[in-house]
Each structure stands twice: as structure tokens, then as C-alpha cells.
Structure 1
Amino acid sequence: MPTSEPDASRPSRDRTTPDRLLHARTGTEVSPEDVVLAAGRDITPRNIEWAKRKLEQEGPAALDKLLP
């Protein structure tokens, strides 16, 4: 009879990545392709146009808003 560990499925606090380590920007220019990929979308002409508009409206923070 197998035994289960009920706490094993819950994330441990000591394994949680701190917020300061989750941001991917390094001060470099954010491209529309970066925004598309951060959104989990395929790079297509339509998605590139969407990302360009998003960057025009939100600036580089658009990428940070999409990432955890």
C-alpha cells in the first residue's frame, strides 16, 4: 500500500523564487518579438503588430507586465 505525502504537492516557501529575480529586462531595448514571446504567442505578422502597439502605449514596461 503506497503512502502519500499530502504536503508534497504544495510549493515550499523556501523554493519560491523571489520577485527581484523574476524580471528579465537587463536595461536593453525591448523588441516587439520579446513582447510576443513573453505573451506566449507565436511570432506572426499579426502578433508583431499587436506587440508594436502595446510597446507604443506602455513602453518597455509592457514586457514586465507580461512576465510573472
Structure 2
Amino acid sequence: MTEDNQPPLEERPEVADAIADDVAVDAFMTGGGPDADTPAFQQPGRPPVYRTGADQPWDPEDLAVAEGRDPTPENVERARRELEKDGPAAIERTVP
């Protein structure tokens, strides 16, 4: 018994009832579709489709902030040159 004269949690009747209950809970039912336990697999030979940070337009100010820099004129200009030189690779290095 615990200090408040209650049995430990694992010995309480409601816990035993919950363990013995085999009824499905609607909120956890997926209907057999893909989920964390049953993923959907692609056919062999099909390239995977990935969405990356470079899939959207980026301003030099956004890149400077994403790199942890203040958007000062110098940092924004450096980010602009980086975007101009490396294109999407500049973003992928920071936001994969």
C-alpha cells in the first residue's frame, strides 16, 4: 500500500480492467491505410518525391536569418551573393 492507503497503480482494479479490455478504440483505428505501423511502399524503379527547403522562393534576408545571422545590410548582401552563386544549394546547406 502507498502512503495514502491506495494500492500501487498496477494493482488497481481499473488498470486490470483496461488491460483485459480488447475493444478497439475508434480514435486509434486507421481503416487499414498507411500509417506509422503500415507504411505505403512505392514500386521499384520509381524515383522518390521529396520536398525540401529549396522548393519555395527564398529572399536573401530569409537566408541570412535562417543561418542565424541578423539581417544587416552586410549579411543580406552576403546571402544574396551566396544565392546567386549556388542557387538552391545555398538553401539546402542551411535548411535541408
TM-score interval (norm. to shorter): 0.5 to 0.7
More helix by share: 1
* 1:43 alignment partner, one of 71, 92, 95: 71
CA RMSD in angstroms, aligned pairs only: 1.9
CA contact under 8 A between 1:38 and 1:66: conserved in structure 2?
yes
In structure 2, the gaps of 5 or more residues are: 1-49
State the TM-score, normalized to the length of structure 2.
Answer: 0.42
TM-score, length basis structure 1: 0.56
Question: Relative contact order (alpha carbons < 8 A, sep ≥ 6): 1 or 2 greater?
Answer: 1
In structure 2, the partner of 1:58 is 86
Q: Which runs of 4+ in 1 moved over 4 A?
A: none
Residue of structure 2 in register with 1:30 after alignment: 58
Q: Secondary structure at the match of 1:42?
A: coil
- Contiguous gaps of at least 5 residues in structure 1: 1-19
User: 1:67, CA displacement in angstroms?
Assistant: 2.8
The amino acid across from 2:82 in the alignment is K
Q: Percent identity?
A: 43
- The one-letter amino acid of 1:24's match is G
Aligned length: 47
